[in-house]
């Protein structure tokens, strides 16, 4: 194909020959690679969009849980107030008697231990800030009564209660149990 173009350096017009380029094997491979990369970018963008949607859903869930937590805290406060009012203004705490090894449960406050039948270990729960518990020995046997904790009690892994009617009241700061 012949065309005439004006050349600014040469005032005369000369025929310019242009050849049509046909894609060779290298060019075809490059086009395939570009197309494959384009598909990967599209897939990555779709994944990002899906992750954004999931993040939005999770954020909405966190907000909802936060609202439910506020409601639960208000319900607990109301329940505690109702408990105090129901008992003529006195706070009522749980009392449990045991004669064998036991783990402290969520409602325990006072555990009365009778070790007449054998040694008794009261195992403390995981540390909870502000949790208070009292363990009292009610028998006069020679058997041992001990309180064990994964978190120390005044620096020791366990404490013994020896004489009859002796008690040990502990309170937790969130990491350690302290005798009070």
Q: What is the pLDDT of residues 118-170, one digit of tens each?
A: 999 999 999 999 999 999 999 999 999 999 998 899 999 999 999 999 999 99
The last residue of a domain, from among 39, 72, 90 = 90
- Counted domains in the chain: 2
> Do the beta carbons of residue 162 and residue 168 sit within 8 Å?
no
Residue-level length of the chain: 180
Range of the domain at 54: 27-90
| 11, part of any domain | no
CATH code for the domain of 148: 2.60.120.640
Q: Which of 94, 98, 114, 122 is nearest to 165 (CA)?
A: 114
> pTM for the whole thing?
0.53
The last residue of a domain, from among 72, 90, 108 = 90
């Amino acid at each position: 194909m012949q065309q005439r173009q004006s050349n600014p350096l040469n005032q005369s017009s000369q025929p310019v020959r242009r050849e049509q380029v046909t894609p060779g094997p290298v060019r075809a491979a490059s086009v395939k690679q570009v197309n494959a990369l384009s598909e990967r970018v599209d897939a990555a963008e779709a994944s990002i969009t899906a992750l954004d949607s999931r993040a939005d859903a999770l954020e909405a869930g966190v907000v909802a849980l936060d609202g439910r937590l506020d409601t639960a805290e208000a319900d607990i406060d109301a329940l505690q107030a109702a408990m105090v009012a129901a008992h003529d203004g006195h706070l009522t705490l749980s009392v449990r008697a045991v004669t064998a090894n036991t783990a402290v449960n969520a409602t325990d406050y006072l555990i009365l231990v009778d070790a007449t039948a054998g040694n008794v270990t009261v195992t403390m729960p995981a540390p909870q800030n502000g949790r208070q518990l009292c363990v009292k020995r009610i028998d006069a046997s020679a058997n041992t009564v001990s309180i064990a904790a994964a978190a120390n009690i005044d620096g020791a892994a366990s404490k013994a209660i020896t004489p009859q009617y002796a008690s040990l009241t502990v309170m937790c700061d969130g990491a350690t149990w302290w005798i009070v």
